[in-house]
């Protein structure tokens, strides 16, 4: 993950676009909460710079 | 002779020192094959070749190799891995630049090359002359490259060429220069080689580093005269490393100021031609998914380049072959250098420095087990 974050930063995608979170099968609520918050975060960041260009 | 001491080598007959060493290795059956170089059309075009008979080792114009490296996509490490079976089943004697040496270490870690079967002559040099602008320089100065018989970089500022038997000195300028990647190099020291061969001064100075190297050098005594030397190439190289690192840091600082959009846009002109993959000494996947998708035209240029960078960045040895061969002149080096610099800061990992360093992306226990099996 750390390695990919470095790569994402260098090529200009931004390391906040990737994440890794552990949830067990019993933690439904945590999973839902995490998905919701991360989706919101991604929406805020906006589309990928490649597509902005076009 | 002792390990670690520099000796000035002068040929007894006509055969120059590196060629004499390679010839002895074949004659004494220390190796099965050696990697040779042959001048193609002119001295700027040096091509690698595999030699298995001692009598075929001739004058290979090593100074031209040192000044220009193998032309285009060839490099010593790539040739050994692709065309000589990586020395996995046979013993090979070869020479290598510091970047080739790093590539060999990386390939050894991934069991593509066996360093134990190799006798390597690591070459200490100032760097490689920029090939792209060289043709223009020759036309501007009305120099016929076929008439050049010998080339030697005498210092980081000038190059000496023997044209038509006359020796002339050319200072480096905007068109004739040491290529960017070599002047930015922060890993100039020769590591992991069996013999160090310094081309920094006018003479060839050989230093045995391992017992294997010492043995080969002693046996080459019938072709070479050795005299103890006080030449210290390491200090000079360290100075160049410091300069290179400063240059690179400055370049990276400028690169980091760019916006993400600019960074991405710089990769946009990629045509996914695959030359970077073919030129890379550490790209070795047999079934390259990028090449397959490129053939099927199922990949866009960003995905191609980004996948390649993510896949190879921790193995990359900063040899600059992808950058210098790219037909679209993408600034690929800066991406790799930036990632390498950050990996060094984060994990203390420098690719190609030692066979005991475990790449940050690899499973540590898995890598250790692999070393044992080697």
**For residue A4, what is the nearest residue in chain B, using CA coordinates?**
B310
* Predicted pLDDT of residue B191: 87
Q: Got the DSSP string for B258-276?
A: S-HHHHHHTTTT-----HH
Average pLDDT score over chain B: 85
> Residue B153 and residue B235: Cα distance in Å, rounded?
18
Q: Which residues of A touch B342 (CB under 8 A)?
A: 6, 9-10
Q: Which residues of B touch A52 (CB under 8 A)?
A: 261
Helices B233-256 and B332-347: angle between axes, nearest 10 degrees: 110
Q: Is the pLDDT of residue B366 over 70?
A: no
Q: Which tens digit of pLDDT belongs to each residue from B296-320?
A: 888 888 888 888 888 888 889 988 8
> Residue B26 and residue B17: Cα distance in Å, rounded?
14
Q: What tokens does B320 get?
A: 């600059």
User: Is A21 near chain B, with CB under 8 Å?
Assistant: no
- Compute, in degrees rounded to 10, the torsion defined by CA atoms B199, B197, B131, B49: 140
User: Residue A2: which region, alpha, beta or left (left: phi > 0; alpha: psi -120 to 50)?
Assistant: alpha
pLDDT-derived band at B374, boundaries 50, 70, 90: very low
pLDDT-derived band at B149, boundaries 50, 70, 90: confident
User: Is B313 near chain A, with CB under 8 Å?
Assistant: yes
> Residue B224 and residue B216: Cα distance in Å, rounded?
12
Q: What tokens does B161 get?
A: 């060429």
> Residue B317 and residue B129: Cα distance in Å, rounded?
19
Question: One digit per residue, pLDDT tens: chain A, 54 residues?
Answer: 778 888 888 888 888 888 888 888 888 899 999 999 999 998 888 877 766 554
The arithmetic mean of pLDDT across residues B347-366, rounded, is 78
What is the residue whose two structure tokens read 């890993």? Answer: B187
Q: Got the DSSP string for B205-225?
A: EEEE-SHHHHHHHHHGGGTEE
The arithmetic mean of pLDDT across residues B254-280, rounded, is 85
**Which of A3, A12, A49 shows the shortest C-beta gap to B314?**
A3
Q: Which of B263, B303, B358 would best serve as a mutation to test chain A binding (most A beta carbons within 10 A)?
A: B263
* Predicted pLDDT of residue A35: 92
Nearest Cα neighbor of B37 from B60, B64, B67 is B60
pLDDT-derived band at B135, boundaries 50, 70, 90: confident
Predicted ipTM of the assembly: 0.78
Considering only CA atoms, give the Rg of chain A.
Answer: 14
Instruction: Give B105: exposed, middle or buried? Use CB within 10 Å, 0-12, 13-18, 19+.
Output: buried
Q: Which tens digit of pLDDT belongs to each residue from B72-109?
A: 888 888 898 888 887 888 889 999 999 999 999 988 88
Q: Which tens digit of pLDDT belongs to each residue from B323-334?
A: 888 888 888 888
> Is the dihedral angle over the CA atoms B60, B62, B67, B71 positive or is it negative?
positive
What is the residue whose two structure tokens read 């979170």? Answer: A21
> Residue B235 and residue B6: Cα distance in Å, rounded?
13
* Predicted pLDDT of residue B365: 59
The arithmetic mean of pLDDT across residues B225-234, rounded, is 85
Q: Is the pLDDT of residue B198 over 80?
A: yes
> Residue B194 and residue B213: Cα distance in Å, rounded?
5
* Predicted pLDDT of residue A53: 53
**For residue B308, what is the nearest residue in chain A, using CA coordinates?**
A7
CB contact under 8 A, B260 and A14: yes
> Residue B336 and residue B309: Cα distance in Å, rounded?
7
Q: Is the pLDDT of residue B33 over 50?
A: yes
* Predicted pLDDT of residue A54: 47
| φ, ψ dihedrals at B55, nearest 5° | -70, -15
Q: Which residues of B touch A14 (CB under 8 A)?
A: 260
Q: Which domains does chain B have, with CATH numbers?
A: 252-361 (1.10.1060)
Considering only CA atoms, give the Rg of chain B.
Answer: 21
């Amino acid at each position: 993950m750390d390695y990919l974050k470095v790569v994402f930063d260098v090529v200009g995608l931004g390391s906040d676009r990737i994440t890794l979170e552990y949830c067990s099968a019993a933690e439904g609520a945590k999973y839902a909460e995490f998905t919701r918050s991360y989706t919101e975060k991604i929406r805020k960041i906006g589309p990928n710079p490649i597509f902005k260009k076009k | 002779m002792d390990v670690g001491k520099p000796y000035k080598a002068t040929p007894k007959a006509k055969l120059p020192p590196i060629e004499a060493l390679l010839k002895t290795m074949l004659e004494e059956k220390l190796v099965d094959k050696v990697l040779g170089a042959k001048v193609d059309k002119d001295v700027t075009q040096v091509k690698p070749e595999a030699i298995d008979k001692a009598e075929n080792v001739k004058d290979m114009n090593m100074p031209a190799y040192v000044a220009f490296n193998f032309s285009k996509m060839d490099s010593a490490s790539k040739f050994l891995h692709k065309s000589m079976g990586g020395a996995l089943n046979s013993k090979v004697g070869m020479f290598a630049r510091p970047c080739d040496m790093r590539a060999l270490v990386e390939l050894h870690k991934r069991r593509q090359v066996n360093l134990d079967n190799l006798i390597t002559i690591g070459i200490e040099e100032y760097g490689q002359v920029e090939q792209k602008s060289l043709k223009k320089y020759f036309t501007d100065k009305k120099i016929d490259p076929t008439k050049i018989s010998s080339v030697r970089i005498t210092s980081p500022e000038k190059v000496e060429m023997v044209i038509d038997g006359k020796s002339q000195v050319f200072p480096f300028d905007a068109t004739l220069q040491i290529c960017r990647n070599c002047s930015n190099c922060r890993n100039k020291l020769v590591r992991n080689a069996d013999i160090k061969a310094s081309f920094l001064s006018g003479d060839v100075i050989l230093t045995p580093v391992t017992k294997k190297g010492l043995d080969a050098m002693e046996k080459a005594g019938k072709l070479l005269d050795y005299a103890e030397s006080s030449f210290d190439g390491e200090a000079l190289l360290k100075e160049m490393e410091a300069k290179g690192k400063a240059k690179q840091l400055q370049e990276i600082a400028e690169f980091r100021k760019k916006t993400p959009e600019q960074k991405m846009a710089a990769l946009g002109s990629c045509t996914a031609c695959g030359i970077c993959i073919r030129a890379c000494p550490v790209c070795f996947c047999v079934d390259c998914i990028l090449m397959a998708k490129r053939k099927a035209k199922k990949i866009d240029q960003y995905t191609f380049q980004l996948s390649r960078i993510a896949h190879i960045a921790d193995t990359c040895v900063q040899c600059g072959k992808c950058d210098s061969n790219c037909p679209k002149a993408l600034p690929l080096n800066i991406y790799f250098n930036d990632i390498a610099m950050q990996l060094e800061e984060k994990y203390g990992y420098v690719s190609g420095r030692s066979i005991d360093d475990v790449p940050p992306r690899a499973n540590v226990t898995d890598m250790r087990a692999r070393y044992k099996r080697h």
